[in-house]
Amino acid sequence: MNKPSLAQTAKAQLISRILGKKNSATAPPPAAIGQPRAAARVPDRYTRFDKHPGYEKMLVSKAASERFGLDNPFFHVHEGRAGATTQIDGRTYINFASYNYLGLAGHPAVDQAAKDAVDRYGTTVSASRLVAGERPLHRALEQALADVYQVEDCVVFVSGHATNVSTIGYLFGPKDLILHDSLIHNSVLMGAQLSGATRRSFAHNDLQALDALLRDIRGQYERVLIVVEGIYSMDGDMANLPALIDIKQRHQAFLMVDEAHALGVLGARGHGLHEHFGIDGQQVDIWMGTLSKTLSGCGGYIAGSRALVQHLKYAAPGFVYSVGMAPPLAAASLAALELMQQEPQRVAQLRARGKFFLQQAQAAGLNTGLAAGYSILPIILGSSLKAVRLSNQLFAHGVNVQPIIHPAVEEQAARLRFFLSSEHTEAQIVETVGLLRQLA
């Protein structure tokens, strides 16, 4: 091996000295040979969770609530099935804080299906479906959901929130654009952030603004995704599906509809937004929904083309690296879906109750915001303090409803949010609206 010449050695030493001088202002001096370098001094606020700014902010809110004599309205312990009524601390409450839209959570047929699944398959599949394989219940549920949306296939995830995060985060990237309604769910925002795509919002249900935005910037991106909700979870109104399909086709974009609160609610059979408008489900590229509301289970799903579903099943991190759905949950959701289709009167009853509540609330002069009279009805109060106080007062009178406060919504939009069930009676609604009129 040839040794470097003296000139080469001198040149290397000179370069090393020059670089050393350039880096000396920012680089710490090297530790002496054999001596450990002193540990960096890090402030307590970076090493303790009780000093985390989010936790400290929560403590400030808690102290303010205590100063005003308000009880914490969250994390009540329910002692049984939560439907139109619930048991808390041995007392029965009229309950408007559950997603049990069609009263199927706790239905004997749903419970029995879950019990039978435990007897046959156990409580878990013990690994990712990619590793542990399929169970018949998984595919039966997925095919039944695909049939509801008139599409080729479907895949179920173990978390509704993670369904959006993983699907959007995986399918789209830095060269893409994601456009969403300004009132879209947090899971969509987290998915967009994970993807690295450019994200833009448009004013709630303002499709002219969406169209104008696409005219201006569509050409700057490769893939474009438009995301809306079937029924908006905070306001109870819906998206204009025919207009959205027209826009997505003209601008060559993908359209994704989050049906978390629309399945079981919209359409004569509860099939959701496409049935409500009489539109072929294949005209939407990605249908998303959750199993924890109408379908009495837990998790989420994506329905669409076979290529979309196969792609997610083999590559989406939230599916590949998560355990497969527990058999009793898949069985419960499948049984609930079958009951929904066998008993469309549940859907009609829910719609009737939603319309009745809206009419009663508006007649009482309450601010119902954008509510369309379906499964969700907000009472806008314009103050987080007022929302928590009114929730406490209603609870004392035997009505369980949760406040939605800043930062979940803007302070001027703080509210009580009522979830309706087909099991609610008109008498329960009249009693509740009477209390609202008296206490608000």
**Residues with catalytic roles:** 233, 261, 293
Residues 6+ away with beta carbon under 8 Å from 46: none
Helix, coil or strand: residue 272: coil
CA distance 301 to 255: 16
Tokens of 83: 């439907």
Q: Which amino acid is at 253?
A: A
Element (H, E) at 433: helix 426-439
Residues 6+ away with beta carbon under 8 Å from 112: 335
Task: Please report where in the chains the tokens 């969406």 appear, as a residue.
Answer: 210
Question: Residue 78: beta bridge partners?
Answer: 88
CB 250 within 8 Å of CB 207: no
CA distance 62 to 437: 28
CB 70 within 8 Å of CB 61: no
Q: What are phi and psi of 367, to 5 degrees?
A: -85, 105
Q: How do the residues of the chain divide into helix, strand and coil, expressed in percent and rounded to 5?
A: 45, 15, 40
Question: DSSP code of 283?
Answer: G
CA distance 193 to 37: 38
Q: Which amino acid is at 335?
A: A
Tokens of 187: 């899971």
Question: Residue 177: beta bridge partners?
Answer: 198, 224
Q: In degrees, to the nearest 5, what angle opens at C-alpha 352 toward C-alphas 366 and 334? A: 120
Q: Which amino acid is at 66?
A: E
- What is the rounded (10 degree) CA torsion for 306, 311, 312, 315? 160
Q: Which amino acid is at 323?
A: V
CB 324 within 8 Å of CB 155: no
CA distance 27 to 226: 47
